[in-house]
Structure 1
Amino acid sequence: MSSASLYTLPIELVCHIFGNLDIQTILFSFRNVCKRFYTIVDTYNRYELDLSLVSKIEFHRICCIIHPENVISLILSNNDMTPGQICLFISLLNINQFVHLRALTLIEIKKFELNLLMEHININSLSELSINIRKHNFNSKGKSMIPVLSNIVMANLRKLDLSMWSKEINCIVWPKQCTLQYLTLGHYVTLKQVCEILHHLSHLRTLVLRNCIVNDTDASVMSFSHIQTSTHLTSLTFKNSRLQMNELELLLLLTPTLVHLQLTGTVTLSDSILDGSRWEEFIQRKLPSLKKFEFFFRAKTDINHNSIDIESWVSPFRTTFWLKHKSWFVTCNFIIKTGTIRLYSVPICDPCIIYESDFDKIECTTCMTNGNDALIMNNVRELDLDLTVMMASMTTQKITLRNHHLFLKLTDLTLTVNGEWPVGSIEYLSTLIDLTNLTTLGLYVNFGHYSVSNTINNIGCLLKQTYNVRSLTLSNSVYRSNLNGTVESFCSIIPHHVKYLEIYDMDLDDIKILLQQVKHLSSVTFVFLFDMPFSPNEIIGWLSQRIDFTYLLDNCFLSIWLGNNINVQPNCSLNAKASD
């Protein structure tokens, strides 16, 4: 019986394999194996092209090879990792040729770029569209967004994600026969706007709202008075929102078919949104289909609460309804040093949290936590941790190291170190977190401390253990401290797996040293707590003589997307120009 060979596999199977490979592997490796693979790659017509993390060198190669008509999904980004990418993409490829595009994601796009793209893309062919307008560009003058927004909502989209301010959303006139089934909106959507959306979008099944304000009481009666019928919404999510129970109940009266409800954000301690009894009564009467209820509420307090107070918030969640009928479990804790009350469902639904040790908080829960603590943190992806405070607590309380990871799926870690780098802290981190899953690492450390060389050595050791980290942020935890005199030592510890660097408060000479010595970086962002201490033209002019790049510039930051050295041109002889 002959063994199967990759070279003889049917085209259908090869194309199925493509679905599990990134675009670089397909175009730069697989395509060059043999003539047959070369032909298959060139004719494959289901490319999902994600350019949000590629290097500038790879970007040019992809633009040379890819056939636009074979792309069904496209992600472009102007974020700090790929500044200026969207404008460069528009200059290199004919947007009209993306005739089979079904999904388009635009990250931190400028308004003029969005207007330009929408003029050339057949939006009616899209089923999914995601637009995130760059924050610094929200209030910029120029061509109105109203025609673009009108065309977007009139299209036959199934899924739409719009990240823009409330006043932009006010410009949208939702058509009566809008086909949207999945809608995500932010920033700072108001309750009135949510009501308008529910009134017009009869096909909507999933609604996600970021930074929503559900406390505009004066608008409540007017907002709900004209909505005669309930919606068919099955999933509703509020992320990082300001929430109040009275207004939320009015809104939820319009969504009796909800199966999933998620609420994360800030509340006031006196609001009944923290009352488990009120939630129990409301859900039983008005949300009979609700299967999954997730929440994470934060409230500030000036009172120093004790365990009896914390139990009083948890007690209403100990009824048969919560524990038996629904199997919904709840935890409440009081963070002593910040005066914060946190009431949340288990497992935690908020992907971004600040970690506090058990000795820094008072906690009560309805959940049996023995052996389940990692499960509780299963959804957490981003974590802030004060390493100095944490290690001091471990020493004072004589805490032993864990025998299993608490955070198994963490991808983004931010550490703060004030003073000397704590002894034993890397070993502690390696038992608390599965460091191999980290892709983003932020370090806020004291470079003005006398033991700065020890700090740099510890950072180097940490980077060796976090070998999947691609993005590194380095800032000083001490006001106006910088890397003076240590930049070369720091450059020597940045491993090749780090491709994106964000660094704070460097002077011009140190910037030049870094760019000359750390040549494997794809992009770098220089951030200044105040205005730049030098003219950005100095570094831009210096770079222009050495390397191909694009950049984004603001008063307090300069992001640079680095390409080939000036004497090494991309294969297709396409050069990039620097852009503001």
Structure 2
Amino acid sequence: MPFNNNSTLSWPQSCTIVTLTILLYSFTDYVTILEHSPQLQTFKTSKFNIEKSNPLNSLSFTAKIYPKLKSLIIDDVSLSMTEFKFVLSLTPSLVWLKIISRTSGVNGHLNGNLWEYPFMNTLPQLKTCQFLFSHSQCCDDDLQGLDVIVQQFSTPFWLTENKITVICDYIFTQKLINVYTISICVQDFIKPSIPTKQYQPLDFILKLQSSLTNVEYPPKTRLIYGTNDITDLPVSARRQMRSLIVVYSYETRSEKSVTRIRAEILHPLPNKL
């Protein structure tokens, strides 16, 4: 149920709908739907932002709780960490949550420690959590912090209590960090490459996975050509790449977790061997 972002949402005063998928453009509309849909249990929405004029920034603002909603999917949004916490605090009855967020600049979305509080205290009934946080405008210097990101999602809260394993991908050519749960098919949210007749260099991805020290994790790295796994390419296509795969690997350890990193990088071969 999409509508124009210049329009005002018209919603019945008492709606008996139980499941809803809608394209929203404002937080006000989101609250309007919750306010007038007392039977709503499953809500899927995308692309809504919290208006700068919204009273949530006021110290006198008191949020209302909507205790009926069980499942929430928020897709393709760019909310701050504070805004995310506020939105989730409205629906403490959530059992199932899925978030797809794309951001740039400095934010706390990639910090697993910051997510523990709202999940423990705001969503006490939460059973299933899936997320993908895609963070752009990073630089190669951010590579030094990738193991920190993974370690923050390697605490007992994530791995033992909630059985949530997190993957951190760094896509070098796009300077993009993707942090996501293994239950998310990240390829579904990557824009497909536009086919061309010219040779295009391969993206290469550095992949890290959260794990406790006593959990065996075999290093795994995917190389992608556009959005396809390199292993799916025919042999003839791989020969035409005229490249050599060089593998780099190292391991970092802390008191509570271990991070194994393995990167496969394509180096062009000279024309004459």
Instruction: State the TM-score, normalizing by the size of structure 1.
Output: 0.35
Q: Is 1:258–2:258 an aligned residue pair?
A: no
Aligned residue number for residue 360 of structure 1: 204
Number of residue equivalences: 225
Equivalent residue in structure 2 for 1:277, among 105, 113, 137: 113
Structure 2 Cα separation of the partners of residues 241 and 339 of structure 1: 20
Aligned residue number for residue 384 of structure 1: 227
Structure 2 Cα separation of the partners of residues 373 and 361 of structure 1: 7
Q: Which amino acid aligns with 1:172?
A: S
Query: Relative CO higher for 1 or 2, CA cutoff 8 Å, sep ≥ 6?
Result: 2
Aligned residue number for residue 159 of structure 2: 323
Structure 1 Cα separation of the partners of residues 76 and 65 of structure 2: 28
Structure 2 Cα separation of the partners of residues 181 and 210 of structure 1: 18
Q: Is 1:182–2:19 an aligned residue pair?
A: yes
List aligned pairs for 1:387-536, cutoff 5 A.
391=238, 395-397=243-245
Q: Which amino acid aligns with 2:22?
A: L
CA contact (8 A) 1:206 1:235 kept: yes
Equivalent residue in structure 1 for 2:82, among 246, 251, 272: 246
Aligned residue number for residue 164 of structure 1: 3
Deviation at 1:354, TM superposition (A): 5.6
Pair 1:280–1:386, CA change in 2 (3 A)? closer
List aligned pairs for 1:544-555, cutoff 5 A.
none
Structure 1 Cα separation of the partners of residues 105 and 127 of structure 2: 27
Match of 2:117, SS? helix
Structure 2 Cα separation of the partners of residues 394 and 348 of structure 1: 33
Q: Which amino acid aligns with 2:126?
A: L
Q: Which amino acid aligns with 1:250?
A: F
What is the percentage of aligned positions where both structures have the same residue? 21
Deviation at 1:264, TM superposition (A): 0.6
Q: If each structure's strand is expressed as a fraction of its own residues, which one has the higher value?
A: 2
- The structure with the largest alpha-carbon Rg is 1
> 1:261-294, CA deviations, whole angstroms, 9 ceiling, x for partnerless residues?
1011212342122221111122111111111111
Pair 1:386–1:261, CA change in 2 (3 A)? closer
Pair 1:269–1:310, CA change in 2 (3 A)? farther
**Structure 2: any 5+ residue segments left out of the alignment?**
194-200, 248-273
Deviation at 1:189, TM superposition (A): 2.0
CA contact (8 A) 2:11 2:36 kept: no
Deviation at 1:352, TM superposition (A): 3.2
**Structure 1: any 5+ residue segments left out of the alignment?**
1-161, 375-382, 400-580
Match of 1:218, SS? coil
Structure 1 Cα separation of the partners of residues 242 and 151 of structure 2: 31
List aligned pairs for 1:195-344, cutoff 5 A.
195-213=31-49, 215-221=50-56, 225=61, 227-305=63-141, 307-344=143-180
Match of 2:34, SS? helix
CA contact (8 A) 1:307 1:364 kept: no
Structure 2 Cα separation of the partners of residues 239 and 253 of structure 1: 18
List aligned pairs for 1:65-76, cutoff 5 A.
none
CA contact (8 A) 2:25 2:47 kept: yes
> 1:29-85, CA deviations, whole angstroms, 9 ceiling, x for partnerless residues?
xxxxxxxxxxxxxxxxxxxxxxxxxxxxxxxxxxxxxxxxxxxxxxxxxxxxxxxxx
Deviation at 1:363, TM superposition (A): 2.4
CA contact (8 A) 1:359 1:393 kept: no
Structure 1 Cα separation of the partners of residues 100 and 241 of structure 2: 29
CA contact (8 A) 1:295 1:349 kept: no
Match of 2:94, SS? coil
CA contact (8 A) 2:64 2:90 kept: no
CA contact (8 A) 1:296 1:345 kept: yes
> 1:410-460, CA deviations, whole angstroms, 9 ceiling, x for partnerless residues?
xxxxxxxxxxxxxxxxxxxxxxxxxxxxxxxxxxxxxxxxxxxxxxxxxxx
Pair 1:310–1:207, CA change in 2 (3 A)? same
Aligned residue number for residue 250 of structure 2: none
Deviation at 1:228, TM superposition (A): 3.2
Deviation at 1:253, TM superposition (A): 1.0
CA contact (8 A) 1:307 1:363 kept: no
List aligned pairs for 1:12-31, cutoff 5 A.
none
> 1:470-499, CA deviations, whole angstroms, 9 ceiling, x for partnerless residues?
xxxxxxxxxxxxxxxxxxxxxxxxxxxxxx
Structure 1 Cα separation of the partners of residues 18 and 134 of structure 2: 30
List aligned pairs for 1:82-231, cutoff 5 A.
162-168=1-7, 170-175=8-13, 177-186=14-23, 188-213=24-49, 215-221=50-56, 225=61, 227-231=63-67
Q: Which amino acid aligns with 1:384?
A: T
Pair 1:327–1:394, CA change in 2 (3 A)? farther
Instruction: State the TM-score, normalizing by the size of structure 2.
Output: 0.70
CA contact (8 A) 1:355 1:385 kept: no
Pair 1:359–1:228, CA change in 2 (3 A)? closer
Aligned residue number for residue 263 of structure 2: none
Pair 1:371–1:343, CA change in 2 (3 A)? closer
> 1:107-161, CA deviations, whole angstroms, 9 ceiling, x for partnerless residues?
xxxxxxxxxxxxxxxxxxxxxxxxxxxxxxxxxxxxxxxxxxxxxxxxxxxxxxx
Pair 1:173–1:222, CA change in 2 (3 A)? farther
CA contact (8 A) 2:171 2:205 kept: yes
Structure 2 Cα separation of the partners of residues 321 and 393 of structure 1: 44
Match of 1:397, SS? strand
Q: Which amino acid aligns with 1:251?
A: V
Deviation at 1:249, TM superposition (A): 1.0
